[in-house]
Structure 1
Amino acid sequence: MRLSKLSLAPVALLALGLISALPAAAQLTPKQELGKALYFDQNLSLNKNQACASCHLPPGWADPRNAADPANLVVSEGSILGLFGGRNAPSSAYAAFSPFFQWDAAAGLFVGGQFWDGRANTLKDQAKGPFLNPVEMAMPSKRAVLEAAADPFNPNLLAYQTLFMSVFRVDLASLDLNNTIVVDAVYDLLAEAIGDFEKSRELNAFTSKYDYYLAGKVRLSGNELRGLQLFNGKAKCALCHLCAPAIAADGVSVMPPLFTDFTYDNLGIPKSINPLLAANPVDFGLGGRADIAALDPQGLQLGKFKVVTLRNIALTAPYGHNGYFATLTDIVNFYNTAGIPGMWPPPEVPHNVNRAELGNLGLMPMQVAHLVAFLNTLSDGYRPGPSPLAFPLPPLP
């Protein structure tokens, strides 16, 4: 889904009244409060040591353990020690804006969904998975998750009882956990609450320096501006990571840039050999899904992974679906020189590699540094002074 771009300068946006102020901190709704408690609760894992936030922790809403790994063995350890996920944990920030997974016939591309391969349609669908994944939170059943939430020794029990009742009219203390219909229904509500928290201002802050720049409240430095020019020009980043405000789905609101078009690409990233994984097979991404493979006998989706948002990118190292790149400079250098013989190991999946939009860009080292300087302006939490938020929270799809 490609959004129509606006060519309005920051001053023009202000003059037209398209950017309004919000209080410095937006309050969570009761459902979001419930979702936040669930999101950060390690008691909902097999060994009471793993939460959603373990792999999606602020400020980047990704896994900081991966960035700290000196060997760059990028996998997140699950509740069962010694078991690891097979992909770099993506940031959960701004995931709420991804549309449903769909085929865009006009563009000839798959678009949207959650996870690196789009296999979940919504945040609610996505939230159901990690609790029951044996290499993540490792709970044996939905019932076990609800039992953990209702455990008298769970320090969140009172909050859960209060919020489940006020939000969903569910009495957590009297659930019939032998009734699979009840268990399925309440598990769905639990996932719905987590998804609603992920739609909140906490994960979708729009408070980066670039947001304030678009709002006409700050200036970018010379190097940051040079990086922005490269981003839109020679480096070709903006072809997929859209950086201009756009008209939102309601046809009226201004949507701040999300720095993704939600499509899928094979960047030709080399395979990350990870001795922590018992098996380290080739990851075919979107094309590895059985439902997609059945629709794609020519293998045109092999090796493709979702184009991620660049918001908070400086806070979410390492980079790539397999975390092959330890730093922003590393992955920018890859974009610059991919495809040049001898520069990099071969792609993990050699099919469908995008050579039209990356590789052999001809960027000089100083230009790479300027591009990285601009990418650092995309981190939320910038404080220009006593100023309101740059953007209101735009309408969700």
Structure 2
Amino acid sequence: MPRSIYGAAVALVCLSGPALAEMTALESLGKSVFFDPNLSVNGNQSCSSCHDPDQGFSSPHGHFSENGAVVQGSVEGRFGNRKPPSAAYASFSPILHHIDDDGVTIVGGAFLDGRATGKKLGSATADQAQGPFLNPVEMALPHAACVVARVLHPADETAYPVSYAGVWGADAVFEIPASITDQCDDTDAQIEIGDDDLTARIDEAFDRIAISLAGFEKSDEVNAFSSRFDAWVAGTVTLSEQERRGFEIFEAEDKGNCAACHVLTPTGREQRAIFTDWTFDNIGVPRNRDNPQGPDYVDPGLGAFLKTDAVYAAYADDVIGAQQVPTLRNLNKRITPDTAKAFMHNGYFKTIEGVVHFYNTRDVLPRCDGDLTESEALAAKCWPAPEVAATMNKDELGDLKLSEAEEADLVAFLKTLDDE
């Protein structure tokens, strides 16, 4: 993507949302798109509906997180198959590529299965941004023309202090015929544009909207780097003794070894750690029996996507069930202390304590009889069978030999990663 397409004048804008910030016009437009519920078929779901800033840009829907963790889309009764991941810090993921190092390792992309590669728009985040608008189980608009029409001519212009024209120029604004937009309230409409020039303009505008949205998602507002950990690294706060012990466990190769995948190597803005290496792994998470796709649903993850890619199809079977390693930032950030959160791609885990105990004891405790929930498994001192067994990582977790106190220390450290 040419550098010039990202260019935008700097403007000081005051928007509704989590904070006031000085941001570029591009970022401001992207923020307006992010918070606009009109960009869904029923006008009831925005990007922020599943990626709430006060919940660490993850799902704010505690009633869903407590169970299947998958969020209902704009159309009542329609659900996808995965828990919404955090949008914070996701913009640092590189374009999907591979590393040849004792085998092929896939790195980057967006969505937990990497299918938004970044090869279309030069940004994995921008590629990903186009998906939810048109997904029938998410925002469910029937055609990109509907997204474009509603951004170019928003129902509430005050929600767009910087307009599409303000970023991309007045000549970039155009009209889409009512014969098309009148169908945008029907998620099942089969919209045909029938005009090559109009199709090209819609495609260009849809790409620009995604680039704007990605600009906001890469802004300081979404990636604040304002956690107590960051302040500790900067020397402005002191962590407790327990938190410091937890950090030592986190980085020690002979202890938690968490930093093997949730790397401390600086990879982000101002050379700060993102706490992920953007690779993919299957750690043996059990099925979530409350998944709206059914108790027997198995998520094929990266492997299913690679089967559709001629370059990587030969490697697909080795990574069935693998999901992208997430950032650990904002793990415990919540709207209120009582707002439920869920962890892992399928939301099986409801507590950070449970996640840490699983990493520590997955291969030590016996198999549960049946698909127990996290709380049931913890009470029974067992773990259910993995969702996908064949490709499970057996080398870096499962028997960490941490004591109960060391598990608590590690949890204490992980909770220092929430942005203030």
User: Fold-level match, TM-score > 0.5?
Assistant: yes
Letter of the 1:368 counterpart: E
User: What is residue 72 of structure 1 aligned with on the other side?
Assistant: 67
| CA distance 1:37–1:171, shift in 2 (3 Å) | farther
Quick one: distance in 2 between partners of 1:41 and 1:297? 39
Within 2, Cα distance between the matches of 1:312 and 1:148?
Answer: 32
Which residue does 1:274 correspond to in 2? 290
The aligned residue for residue 299 of structure 1 is: 317
**Alignment-mate amino acid for residue 290 of structure 2:** N
Letter in 2 for 1:213: W
Are the equivalent residues in 1 in contact too, given 2:152–2:163 (CA < 8 A)? Answer: no
SS in 2 for 1:28: strand
Equivalent residues in 2 for 1:60-209 (5 A)? 60-65=56-61, 67-69=62-64, 71-106=66-101, 108-120=104-116, 121=118, 122-150=124-152, 154-156=155-157, 159=160, 163-170=163-170, 174-176=174-176, 179-209=198-228
Identity, in percent, stands at 41
Q: Which residue of 2 aligns with 1:239?
A: 260
The whole-number CA distance in structure 2 between the counterparts of 1:269 and 1:319 is 10
Per the alignment, residue 243 of structure 2 pairs with 224
Counterpart residue number, 1:369: 408
CA deviations over 1:70-120 (Å, ceiling 9, x no partner): 742210110001111210101010111111111111363100111101111
For 2:140, what is the secondary structure of its paired residue?
A: coil
Q: 1:57 to 1:297 in 2, by over 3 A?
A: closer
Q: State the Cα distance separating 1:170 from its structure 2 match.
A: 4.1
> CA 1:203–1:298 in structure 2 vs 1: closer, same or farther (change >3 Å)?
closer
Q: SS of the counterpart of 1:127?
A: helix
Which is worse superposed, 286-295 or 298-307? 286-295
Shift of 1:301: 1.1
Asked if the contact 1:37/1:156 (under 8 Å) is kept, the reply is no
Distance in 1 between residues matched to 2:393 and 2:28, nearest whole Å: 42
Q: What's the CA shift for 1:296?
A: 2.6
Provide the rounded CA distance (Å) in 1 between the counterparts of 2:392 and 2:140. Answer: 35
Residue identity opposite 2:263 in structure 1 = L
Superposed displacement of residue 235, structure 1: 1.0
RMSD: 2.3
Letter matched to residue 300 of structure 2: F
Residues 254-313 of structure 1 deviation map (CA, whole Å, 9 limit, x = unaligned): 511111111111100011123633696311100111325962367111111100011111
TM-score by length of 2: 0.78
Change (3 A) 1:82 1:280: farther
Matched residue, 1:57: 52
Q: Is the contact made by 2:50 and 2:59 (CA closer than 8 Å) also made in structure 1?
A: yes
Q: Is the 8 A contact 1:149 1:157 kept in 2?
A: no
Tell me whether 1:318 sits opposite 2:342 in the alignment: yes
Secondary structure at the residue paired with 2:98? strand
Could you tell me how far 1:367 is from its partner in structure 2?
1.2
C-alpha distance in 2 between matches for 1:354 and 1:185: 42
Say how many residue pairs are matched.
350
Aligned amino acid, residue 168 of structure 2: F
- Does residue 1:330 correspond to 2:347, yes or no? no
Residues 292-342 of structure 1: CA distance to partner in whole angstroms, max 9, x if unpaired? 596236711111110001111112731111010001001111101112233
For structure 2, the residue ranges without an aligned partner over 5 or more in a row are 1-18, 119-123, 178-192, 335-340, 368-381
Does the C-alpha gap of structure 1 residues 155 and 96 become closer, same or farther in structure 2, counting only changes over 3 Å?
A: same
C-alpha spacing 1:115/1:309, structure 2 compared with 1 (3 Å): same
1:285 counterpart (301, 306, 310): 301
CA distance in 2, matches of 1:190, 1:53: 16
Normalised TM-score (structure 1): 0.82
| Secondary structure in 2 matching 1:110 | strand
Are 1:151 and 1:157, in contact at CA under 8 Å, matched by a contact in 2? no
Aligned to 2:234: 215
Q: Secondary structure at the match of 1:339?
A: coil
Q: 1:362 to 1:199 in 2, by over 3 A?
A: same
1:164 to partner: Cα distance: 1.4
| 1:236 partner amino acid | N
**What residue identity is the alignment partner of 1:147?**
A
Equivalent residue for 1:8? none
SS for the counterpart of 1:174 is: coil
Query: What is aligned with 2:39?
Result: 44
Distance 2:291 2:136 in 1: 19
Change (3 A) 1:339 1:57: same
8 Å CA contact 1:175–1:182 kept in 2: the answer is no
Tell me the distance in 1 between the aligned counterparts of 2:174 and 2:168. 14
Distance 2:400 2:100 in 1: 30
Q: Measure, in 2, the Cα distance between the counterparts of 1:262 and 1:147.
A: 34
Q: Where do 1:382-393 residues align within 5 Å?
A: none
Quick one: structure 1 residues 212 and 283, their matched pair in 2 at CA, closer, same or farther if it must change by over 3 Å?
A: same
**Which piece of structure 1 moves more, 277-286 or 85-94?**
277-286
Question: 1:7 corresponds to which residue?
Answer: none
* 3-state secondary structure, aligned to 2:53: coil
